[in-house]
Each structure stands twice: as structure tokens, then as C-alpha cells.
Structure 1
């Protein structure tokens, strides 16, 4: 899995964004059935000319499709829409709809993996109790969990790290809410823009950030984060912005029953 990817939620110019991202060195795209742009992701990657095996593509199944048979149908539809043969990672988008549905969905994803439709299986917005259900059912651990970094949920992060479950950071730019004085102070210190600071923070925390943009200049600058390192005291300052559950800029269903 690459260390940085392009998020494409609510991106009306998704194919163009993916093509630009490939040109700028990105090799990962994060989509979902809910985003309704899997076909555009496939189009953008094909237009880029980058070989399929060199691009890591993720999608997710949304809770209306949860369940064994419906998951198998949904994954096939996703693969058909992408028109690139398979997904590298396929996630359960959230823990909603209850334990029975979660486990039936996970079982179906593992069968899709065995069939070659997906290369790996993971989850998103899962708390540790939801992952424990998977363990207790005797299934293999998910390979990734997606969480939102300014609602840092440190116990979940530590749980996942201890089990070698990759943390992908969705909304790493906190939906553009970049006017916090701490972020600006760190930005000025390193002569980097606030988005670059937040992406670099995610990387140094061991997360895989998935910044979203449709603008060519912004897609390019978001990838220019490997030529500097944030000092420990500045990482700590950014850590202090955590507001636990109240800090979520998107939904936060990690406590779902």
C-alpha cells in the first residue's frame, strides 16, 4: 500500500483528478460505492497510462448493501464499474446495521477476495469491539481501518497498530477547516501550507492520509510532503487539537452497536 492516496468524495471532476494525481506521482485512489464515482476512477487511471498493477485502488460497501448475498452483488458491481479487473482493498464503510450484518458482510468480502475480485479486505470507522467480533468469528483480521485524524481516537489507533492493521486517515485536511492558529503557526515555521502540515502530521503518526482535491495545483502540492519533518514539539502541538468524538468533521460511528 502506498503511503499517500487521493480521496475522491464528492468530486465532480473525479476522472480528471485521478489522471492528474497519477501524473503527480500518486499511486493510490480511495473511492466508495456511496461516492458514485467508481467508474470515473477507473476512467482516470486508464487515461493516465499507468499500469494497473502499479496503482492501489480502494472502495467501500455502504450499509444499505450490507448482508452476505447483497455484498457479493455489490462487489461485483463495483468491479464492473471500475473496469480495471479488481480492487486492491475493499472496506466495510461503517459498523452500522448490527453485528450479524457486519459479520455476514465481512464473510462475503473474504469470499470476494478468494475469487480474485479484491486483493485485501478492511474496515472503516470501526471501533476495537467491532474488530474483536471478527476475531471471535474466526476470520482473518482486516488489513486496514479508516479513521479521521483530528478526531484522533487514540485507543482505536493503538489497538490497530498492535495488530498490524493499517490506519488510513480520511479527511486528513479536516474538510478544509485549516484556520486554527496552531496549524498556522506550524505552517509558518516550516514554510509549508497548512494542508501540507496536516498531511505530514498524518504520515509521521504512521497513518496513510487520503487528501481530497480536484484542483491540479492543490493535488500537486499535497504530494510535496516528503522533503521535511515536523519536530516532536510541533507534532505534540498538533496532537493537542484532538477533541475526541466532538472533534469529528464527518460522521463518527465507532460506537455503533
Structure 2
């Protein structure tokens, strides 16, 4: 089994750079799918209140026999639960569904700028962090102005910003802001499935050159940029395949070819328009 590289968050916590996402995995399939991921070698699992599969994720973790301190579990606060007291209650619910005493990372799923509650919500996450019920707290889909406001008004810098990021949407400005503030960038939809990235001639030729799959090439691109990635699959063979991103390296020409795939096309909504 290949060794998964790690990144160090701004509070000293270590996080696997390659994790497993369960977005759109039906609750009734989640335990089986997460179990397959853990057996394949993943140690980081990413879920959310929105996904409605925290319970299945928790059951897989409990049944795995893997020591809790060897796992990294992330969940997220949904949009209907912004606000200080509401966020605290929502976290309690997520923790109960997971059946855990703490999570390793808790994220605000979207900033919802028009509602203007994300700073108040962040103060709830500060409390959760101070109580030790989350080892780290962060955000998802936050833009540079949202990140700066959180940092300036609360003094607590998010550990992670999980954003849509793939070769079509490399998010240079946002990654630079994250790096400037000491925030780790985590990519959701890292393979850009559905927008043709894996079928691009440059991707398939690089894959052939290295004896890897197109998905492995794109995941390797992320790792070399310093991104944390959480590919999702329900297919055991693909779950294992996505771990095969060590033991080879993309050269400057490969990275330049992948950079040319940028179109600015999103799979999901723009954070400024979701409210």
C-alpha cells in the first residue's frame, strides 16, 4: 500500500493530502463504500450534513477497527444552520450521527454572503474548537474577501478552505490568498468529472507516458500544487485506483500542458450566487 502524503494545518494538526469523499453516496450504501475505502488504505473521510450519510460514515469508522487517532474525519455545517446557536446545535447533531466524540475538521459549507451570518457562525466554530470537539475548523467555498473578513474580525484563521478545483478551474487567485493567510486549499470535484477533463488528449497522453490512468494524472497534478484532494467513487476498483498517485511525478511540461486546460468552467455554483 502506498504511503499517503500529509500536510500540516496552521494549528499543527496533520491531515492526509489524499482523502475519500462521500458526496452523493446514498446512506444505505455509505457504510459499505467507506469500509471499502478504509480497507484500500484511505484514512481521511469527508462527509457533510447535506450528504445525509453521516450515520453510515460513522458506522464504517466504528466497525473498521482502526484506532481513532489514525483517522481524519471531516463534516460540514449546512446552509440552513448559519448563526451562532443554530450552528452549535447542528454540530451536536452531526457528532451524534457520526457516533464520535470529536471530528478532525469541521467546515462551514458555504459563505452565503447575502445572509451575512458567516462571521457569527464562525464564532460558533471557534467555540467548538476551544472545547476540543473539533481538532481543526475551516470553511468551504469561501472567496478571498470572505476569508479576510473572518481573519480580521475574529483573529482565527481557517485551517482549510475546501473549494471546487480542477484543471478547468485551477483557482490561482484563491489558492494564492489561502497560501498568504496560511490556509490549506482542499479541492472538491478534483477530477472535474462531467466536464471532459479526463478525456482531454493532453491528459490521456500524459497518462500513457507515465503508465497511469487519466484520473491518477489529475490527482497527481493536485498533489504537486499542494492541494488536498478528496475524490469520490462507489466502485471498489476506482477507489483503489485513486490511491495510486505516489511513485511518479509530473514534469514541468506535463504541468504546463495541464495548465492549458483552464476554461473557468464550474461544475457547481459560484459562491457569490448561492444564498
Task: Give the shorter-chain TM-score range.
Answer: over 0.9
The alignment covers a number of residue pairs equal to 255
Aligned counterparts of 1:7 and 1:138: Cα–Cα separation in 2 = 29
In 1, the alpha carbon distance for the partners of 2:256 and 2:157 equals 31
The within-5 A match list for 1:120-135 is 120-135=136-151
Contact in 1 for aligned 2:113/2:272 (Cα 8 Å): no
1:196-215 alignment runs, 5 A limit: 196-215=216-235
Gapped regions of structure 1 (runs ≥ 5): none
Q: CA deviation at 1:106?
A: 0.4
Matching residue within 178, 182, 198 for 1:160:
178
Within 5 A, what are the aligned runs for 1:167-206? 167-176=185-194, 177=196, 178-206=198-226
Q: 2:87 aligns with which of 57, 62, 71?
A: 71
Deviation at 1:138, TM superposition (A): 2.8
Please say if residues 37 and 239 of structure 2, whose CA atoms lie closer than 8 Å, have aligned partners that are also in contact: yes
Matches within 5 A, 1:1-257: 1-12=15-26, 13-98=29-114, 100-150=116-166, 151-176=169-194, 177=196, 178-244=198-264, 247-253=265-271
Segments of 5+ residues of structure 2 without an aligned counterpart are 1-14
Return the TM-score normalized by structure 2: 0.89
Q: Distance in 1 between matches of 2:193 and 2:68?
A: 30
Task: Please say which of residues 53-62 and 131-140 is displaced more in the overlay.
Answer: 131-140
- Alignment root-mean-square deviation, CA: 1.5
In structure 2, distance between residues paired with 1:186 and 1:251: 30
Query: For residues 47 and 194 of structure 1, do their structure 2 counterparts lie closer, same or farther at Cα, with a shift above 3 Å needed?
Result: same
User: Within 2, Cα distance between the matches of 1:256 and 1:213?
Assistant: 26
